[in-house]
Structures are given as C-alpha cells and as structure tokens.
Structure 1
Amino acid sequence: MLAQLAAIIWTITQPIPAVIPDVLAVRGLLTAFQVVAIFAVLVLLWRTILFGRYRALPGASDDELPTVTVIVPAYNEGPQVLTTIQSIMFSDYPHAKLSVIAIDDGSLDDTWTWIQRGAAAFPDHVIALRCPMNRGKREALYEGFNRATGDVIVTVDSDSELHDDALRNLVTPLVREPRVGAVAGNVRVLNRSQGAIPTMVDVVFTSSFEFIRVTQSEVGAVMCCPGALSAYRRELVDVFKDEWVTQTFLGAPASIGEDRAMTNAVLRLDREVRFQANAIVVTKVPTDTAQLARTFLRWARSDVRETLSLTQLLISRLRASDLGTWINVVSSALAMLLAPLALISVVGLAVVDPGTLIWIAAALVLTSVFPAVLYAHLREPRHAWWAFGYAAYNLLCLSWIQPYALLTPAHSQWLTRSLPVARQRT
C-alpha cells in the first residue's frame, strides 16, 4: 500500500515544476515526497526478501492437535451460516477435539432457524446461542469466549467457508511454537463469479493481505488476525477479553475492528502473531460499490485506532527485536497520511493542467504491476489484469475513504449489515 501510494505521488509530481511556480515550499514538498518514495521502495524490497523465505508450516498430526472451540457470530446471515457451520464440521480435524459455538446476534431474518439446523445436524459438537437483541459482533464473540472450552479459540465469520485442511493448518503454529499466541488465516474471495468487484477484490486481497501478512509473520507480528479465520490461545483470550469487550476510543465504544484489537492484545502480552498461508478461508465480499466502500471505511477507521495503539505499545517497550514491527507500523502510518496527499495531488493537478492526466494514468499503471505479477504468481495469471482495473476503480470510487477515516476514526457504526425489508422476519 505504501509503495503504491508513493509511486502515485512520485509520478504525478513530476510535472509540478512545469505548472506551479518554483518556490521553496514546493521544492521542499517534492523532496519530502522523494524521500518517502525511496523509503517505500526499500520497504518493498525488504518485504520481497521476507516473502521469498517464508514457508507455511505443514499441518500437525491428530495426536498433536489441541482441543478447539470455533466461534461463529452471525447477524442477518440467513442460510449461509449453516454452510459455514458445515464447512467447519466437515473439515479435516478430529471431531473429538472440535466444538462450535454459533451465536445469533439478534438477527431480523431467519438466521436463528439455520443455526438451529446446524446444531441439530451436529448435536454433540455445535452449541446454538441466541442474543435477544443486536449488541454487535464484539459482544457476540465475548459470549462465545465465556463458553469456550477448547485450548484454542478459533473465530470464523458467518459468511465464510473453510477449506478442508484450514483448521489443522491454522492451529499448527500454536502446537509447534510456544511463543506464538495467535495465528491469522489466509482470506480469499468466495463469490468471485458475482461480478467485477469481487474479482478485483480477490486480486487486492492477495497483495494487501497475503503478501503483507507473510512479511509481517516473518517478524512475528502480524498486525491483524482477520475475523474470517483466526486462532488464539484461550489462556491469552481469558486475560484480555474483559478489557477488550469494553474498549473505547476518544470516549466512544470501539465496536468495530475487534479483530485488530484482539491482535494488538496478543502482541501486548508479548506473544508472537503468525500467518498460515495454507489455512485458507473463502469469504463473501460486497458486489456493489456502496457496500464495498462501507466495508473499507470500517476497516480504515479501525486501522487508525489500532495503529495508534500499536505505536504506543512499541514506544513503551523500546527494544531492538521490534525493528521489523516498527518498519511495518511506520509504513502503515505513512500510507494513511499519504492517502489524502495523493488524492489532493491528483485532483489539483488535473484541474490546474489537464495535460497531467497522462502522468496520472502512468501512475495507475505503475502501481498495478506488482499486484498483477503477484496474483499471477500465487493464483491465476488469467485474472491478474484485474489489478489494473482496480487501480482506476479505486481512484475514481474509493480514494476518499482513507482521508475520511482519518477525520472520523471514532465512528463505530458497522454500516454493512442492514437487512432489506423483504428478508426481515415476520
């Protein structure tokens, strides 16, 4: 993300001397942009080296595997929640060591009916809980944490489906490496066939999630264990869950970004957080721009809050072993701050001199090359070209999100779980 934003700013600022008077402030700004761009390139090279040496751990044997409680919070999910439960129970994990807690968080539709069907299909393994009213995903997870009995707690979103070996691979680092306190799964898109937006998002997930989390894992500090699939040692969850569920930010309840907050809680307990690329989960993503923008806005707001929290942690315990984490945090913070500058630069130059549009187009192409090559290498070459389409789509439709998130980080509305009237329970 930082490298892409730096490339945009570097490219589009090339014509600035020709369209803006040569004043000291402009020269200073250009120099600052160039320094950031050089830093971004160095970080990208460093991350590429880390990516090249990463190897996911192969799945542990049945005897090694710990007992696991999988928690599935659901709100207005309908029949998909049953498919999610089935994907968990049909996975390659010993049933004697597996339990599921499915929680209906006050849904307005028939989600509770589908959860009950899941519990009836697997009566010895699935517990169905129902909240009388919608209190939010964090509260629903908290209910599950309080009832979990497994040595490891796994969180799975109700719109996600696990690959057969996902659970086994996910918990393996917790078995093999005592210092590891949490593990992030590998999120991919379930509904790619539903249009251009899900296909583009799948390409973005590969570069923004898989590549970045691999490099963060190599320094032992993945910054976000995704709600779609993550594992935590229950002993650690028991330590931080009460403080986590009542978290506030700028005086308001922090009801979004519960996954990033949990990840920071594990890091705060001085445990490592790893990523397992072979623990694959596919999840539904929005198919229209409005819903996608709301999702990204929610993530961006929680990123602001939790990046500040992680920075405070690193400052409080200054040590050489956190250098890799510092690089990732600084990169993340710079990406947040550069986003509004990139947007202002693009709009400003296009207005002042429409001829600079060719530089903007060049910047979009430049920033798309790496995601396209990465997707072609890791996934499917035939869909890699969508990276170029996403660059233009992001500029036109989504580039306002990060600047707006910086201005409204304390807003904690979920934004994406409203239910059409036709699906409401009567």
Structure 2
Amino acid sequence: MQFFNVKTVEETYKQIEELVKSVKETEEIPLASSLHRIVAEDVVATESVPSFQRSTVDGYAVKAKETYGSSETLPGFLSIVGKVVMGEEVTTPLGNGEAIYIPTGGMMPPNSDSVIMIEHCEELSDLLNTYKQVAPGENVIQIGEDVKAGEVVVKKGTKLRPQELGAIAAIGKTHVTVFKQLTIGYLSSGDEIVPYETTNLQIGQVRDINALTISSLVKEWGSKIIYGGIVSDDYIEYQNRAKELFDQVDCLVLSGGSSVGAKDYTTKVIESLGLPGVFIHGVSIKPGKPTILAMAEEKPVIGLPGHPASAMIIFSLFAEKIIKKLSGEISRKRLDRVQVRLMKNIHSSMGRADYIRVKLLEVDGEWWADPIIGKSGLISTLVQSDGIVEIKSEYEGARKGELVSAIMF
C-alpha cells in the first residue's frame, strides 16, 4: 500500500511552473477563426493606425489660435467653407479665418489643428459663431496615436479576445500564427462507475459526473477533449486504456483511483507511461488531498480524486494552470479573486489549505461570503456556489466579518 508524500499548494504551483513546458507546434489560421487561441509570435504593426488625422467629435475643423478668447458673451467668427465627406481624402487646405464641418472620424483638412464641438458653436448661414476656445490637437486623433508602425500590437502568449482580434484587423492582418490547440484526454476508473446517461442505477453504482464537468472545463479553457470512457479496477485493462489515450493527447486526466486503497492503480499506471513520472502524490488541501500530478515524456498527467466536487475544485486550481502553461499562454491578471467578508466563522486546520464553497451576497454595497455547509463530496454544494474562499495553511480559520480571498467560479 502506498502513502502520500504531501506537498503544499505553493509547492505544487512551483513544481507545475518548473516542469510543464509549452507546446512548440504552431499553425497560421484566419483571424476570424482565432478567438481564444494563443498567439505564437509577436504581432507587429506594419502600418500606423490611424493613418491620417481624424476628428473624435462632430464639429468644425479650425485653427485653434483663431478661437482664442471665444466665449458665450464674446463669440468668435469664422467663415464656413465646406464639409468633410466620410471616406474621402481632403486635399483643400484650410485658410485663415475659415472653418470646415467635420463628422466624427472624418479626415482633418490640411492646416487645421483642432475641432470645435458642434455644441460649442452656432452656424448662421455661412458664418460660424464660436462660443468656446479650443487648444491645438483638441478633439483630434493624431497619425499613429492608436498604433504606430513597428509597434507590438499583441504579444506572444496572449489569448485572443475580441479586442485583440479587432486590433489585429485594424493593422490589416487577415491571418495569425497561433500555438496548436491542445487535446486533453479524460478517462474514468472504478467498478462502481457507469455512464452519466444511465437511467436506472443498480445498488452501489455511481454516474460518471466527472466526465461532463471536467470535459466542460477543458472546453471552457479553449482545448479539445477526448473522452476515453470508463475502465474497471483491473490493472492491465486500466494500463492499456490509459496508454492508448495518452498517445493521442497532449495531457491525460485520470479520475478516481488516486487514494491509498489497495485497488487504486492510478499511480502505477501513470508511472508506466514514461519518465520522469509522478512529482506530486498528495496535496495539503481540503477537499482533494489525494491528487496526483506527473510528467511522462513531456506530457502532463493528472490524477483526480473520484468525488465530483473534489475533482472539480482540484481541476480548477491546478489543471487550469497546467493547461495554460502547456498551451503557451502567458498568464494575464484577471479579476478571478475578490476580497469578501465572511458571514460566518470558518474553522480550518493549520498545515492544510482549505477551500470552502460560498455564495456571494451584496450587503450595503459590500460583498459578503456565506459559507455553504455540506460534506466535501457533494456536487450540489458546487451548484449553489459562486466561488470558493481560500483559508491558507498557516491559519486555523477565519472569523465572521473578516476579509478573505474568494476565487470566483
């Protein structure tokens, strides 16, 4: 019988960072198909955006100095000599004492240096009364103010969001080079496990909830999933099925069989897949202590606890970091952790990090976390939760009203 060599959460994160390497394969794909893919090289602008001076408001293009001193009580006067047409180049220079109507986004006429907003002036036939002075450059976007030619628009390792797609499109690129999309393999084990579609359960049987929750998380993070089905508690069958799936994927996830029971073959199966093998067998955490992490032939292998709630929390805490590192994504700070106040006391044991499911409530403009009471293996507690509160291993708990860190689902 094996026993855990337990690591802390911090030690686990550090080893993931050291051991997991990014995939190297890349491909060039149409920009329109690249949402949520990871950029494999810096995207550099070959042109400036905008390529001409543009107005940011509806108004009149003027020479700023000719508006100085204008006010509601003492307006200035300029001659209106035409209008800018959207999408057309303006070649006629602006003369002294002149103004030209310009819409938002219109091209600035030569010799003009600012735009007075339509709200701050009045058109009287061919005469423009100006009721406010403007400064040079006011209400104008300069050439290259958005993006300059030669500038890095999107850095290597960035996950493409709609805003990055827009920025790349703005510099005239229709294709982008990205890392290959990861394929994650998932295999459940246990004589008691049956497909989640099973209508009538026999006594002792358990539906394979993890097949759905883990696969959904993988897809949510931008990777593909291959479901390997359910394997019985037979070492030879387990090893063969795991190896077959391992050869098809970039990362293998095994659910169940990660504890120290005599029939739990997961560690032995993982070790058979290749070197260097298991680097984490047990994390000082609740729920999810019997967690296995390994590297085999440069591929990560993850052994999850069988309990659905524990499996989902562990997968969210550690597998997301593994998959992101493997995909080539450079971590971007996200608002996935917020400071909240506790509505109840929480007890914890020193030396072990606890993750308590909570429901978030807004009270008088402040966010409070209401701990959800229930055994750690209950999937229903996850459904009721908005996130989990982290009680670090050096603390014995947290008191009602105390500020704590909550990880959002």
Q: TM-score, normalised by structure 1?
A: 0.20
More strand by share: 2
Larger RCO, structures 1/2 (Cα 8 Å, 6+ apart): 1
More helix by share: 1
Q: TM-score, normalised by structure 2?
A: 0.21
Larger Rg: 2
